[in-house]
Amino acid sequence: MEALDQLGKKLDAMLRQYAVIEAENKRLKETVSEQSKTVEVLTKKLTSLEHGMVSVRLGNTTDNEEEKENMRRQLDNVIAEIDKILNTLND
């Protein structure tokens, strides 16, 4: 009888541990989903900025140095954000 009680206690402990792991798994999946959406948004933004940079290179935009520098800063920021998210996903 004592063996059954111990087995029941072990089973209860394992079920509690399983519930904790399932909750963490759900939270992690939600986090990955959110980060994937953010990566998608940032990738679209990066593509847009790259198209802008191509236009700058081709001379289709004004030769305003301030505008070029602003676009470079925006592109650097987007790339930095994508790097952060990719590093977080890899952890």
Q: What's the pTM value of the predicted model, to 2 decimals?
A: 0.52
Q: What are the tens digits of pLDDT across the range 10-46?
A: 999 999 999 999 999 999 999 999 999 998 998 888 8
For the ranges 8-12, 75-79, 86-90, the lowest mean pLDDT is seen at: 86-90
Give the domain ranges of the chain: 2-90
Instruction: Measure the CA–CA gap between 87 and 44, rounded to whole angstroms.
Output: 19
For the ranges 25-34, 41-50, 65-74, 79-88, the lowest mean pLDDT is seen at: 65-74
pLDDT band at 66 (very low <50, low <70, confident <90, very high): confident
Burial of 38 (0-12, 13-18, 19+ CB in 10 A): middle
pLDDT greater than 70 at residue 58: no
